[in-house]
Structure 1
Amino acid sequence: MRAQLRRLDPILIQAVIAAALSFAHIHDIAEAAGQGGWKAWAYPVSVDLLMIAAWRRMRSDIPAQRKGAWFWFGLALAASLAANIGTAGVLDLTNLPTPLRVIVGGWPAVAFLGGTLLFHSRKTHAEPEPDEAPDDEPQAPADEPPAPPADEEIEPPANEPEKPVLVSYADAADALGVAPETIRGAANGPKARLTKYSGLTPNTVRVDLNEARRVIRRPAGV
């Protein structure tokens, strides 16, 4: 039990005490103004509810709601503050002045107007619901081409030209198992069968290893 008492927030306790005192003071003013029985208890309820509703609108993200809520919050706070001061010996509760009796009598209509405006301001600024529900099927982006039908055959891409593998005469001879003179003779002369490529230096010549395989190792009689 003591552990639970330690967990109570002092600010919450102070707020409950202040609310109870304010509640009793408004009741006393209403009762002194001729509102006896349950009606005297209904006055502090209406004041506190109007203040709470206005405070909730003041925390809204919509500027129009906050602007109107400040007025009703200030009005409820002024009514509570006036009741607290009036019961502190400032007023004779046995003989309240007529203007104060008029204010107490007209408070229910004012509280009803404020609560109605605060409630409908939430409905007016609520986000509109969409007219039509979004389609469940995902749509393809506009820049992507449509997929071909399933019954159509997709043509394979054209074969890209084979990139040459450039090697020296000696490297080509080692790879093919022939003498370097054979590679040199196939790449030079009036009947050259191999294409020569320039190397890194002017005196360096390269040949395509794939082309050498096709030319040097071709079947006899071809």
Structure 2
Amino acid sequence: MRASLARVDAVIIQAVIAGALSFSHLHDLAEAAGQGGWKAWAYPVSVDLLLVAAWRRMREQQRSGLPSGGSRLWFLVALAASLGANVATAGLLDLAHVPALLRVVVAGWPAVAFFGGTLLAHTPRTSESVDRGASAVSEAGDSVASALTPALSEPTASGTADPEHIPALEPAADPDPAPVPTSNIHLPPALVDRAQALARELHSSTGDPADPDTIRARLGLPASMTPAVAAHL
């Protein structure tokens, strides 16, 4: 418990020190760029607030799986402004003779910060996006359910379903009908006599039993009739 409190206290102290130094550097740079009085103190507040707001919004969007490109862009812009002020006041820049370009950047910062803060404030939050998505899914489900309601669920004035609106039910077709066995097909007596006569001729000429398929072919019957011919031999 004490170790965790010590770590939290160390983090808070470090954050306060770093924030105070960055705040001071931004104030000195704004004042050197011609922004005196209360305006020099407002610049560091504007930069730090945009930095924190962009960071929080970026983390929310990342946790919820939403794109965070806009929040990341404004976080980098605020970070560049803070880091640039810290480096500029490290003795590399003559604060008594600030370049004209830096004066333009400092003077145009309020418009940039206002634009970025407005975009971050109007970005839909995670809960709002989830609520909109849930309501849209619910409305779509209700519309589909109402469209698929059968006609039988709509009673007439007498309280019973209208027989005219009852759809006719067609018998389901058998997906795999069983084939009719050809052995049960009865051949005409004349055709049976002709097949048996051919079988006797073939047996007398060859000495072997007659082939049903050969007899079927001589009779001009389809191949499916071979079992029926064989049943009568």
| Percent of paired sites with the same residue | 63
- d(CA) in 1 for partners of 2:104, 2:76: 20
- d(CA) in 2 for partners of 1:113, 1:63: 21
**Could you report, residue by residue, the CA deviation over 1:132-162 in whole angstroms, capped at 9, with x for unpaired residues?**
9xxxxxxxxxxxxxxxxxxxxxxxxxxxxxx
Give the corresponding residue for 1:57: 57
Give the corresponding residue for 1:97: 99
Superposed, 1:180-199 pairs within 5 Å as: none
The normalised TM-score by structure 1 is 0.53
Residues 1:106 and 2:108 aligned together: yes
| Deviation, structure 1 residue 81 | 0.4
Higher radius of gyration, 1 or 2: 1
Secondary structure in 1 aligned to 2:123? helix
Structure with bigger strand share is 1
Superposed, 1:26-175 pairs within 5 Å as: 26-59=26-59, 60=61, 61-64=64-67, 66-122=68-124, 126=129, 127-128=131-132
Secondary structure in 2 aligned to 1:93? coil
Quote the RMSD (CA, aligned, Å): 3.1
Gaps of 5+ in 1: 133-222
- d(CA) in 2 for partners of 1:108, 1:40: 12
Secondary structure in 2 aligned to 1:95? coil
| Deviation, structure 1 residue 50 | 0.4
Secondary structure in 1 aligned to 2:34? coil
- Runs of 4+ displaced beyond 2 Å: 5-8, 122-132
Structure with bigger helix share is 2
| Deviation, structure 1 residue 12 | 1.5
| Deviation, structure 1 residue 9 | 1.8
Distance 1:6 1:105, change over 3 A: same
Secondary structure in 2 aligned to 1:51? helix
- d(CA) in 2 for partners of 1:56, 1:21: 22
| Deviation, structure 1 residue 63 | 2.3
| Deviation, structure 1 residue 7 | 7.5
- d(CA) in 2 for partners of 1:84, 1:18: 11
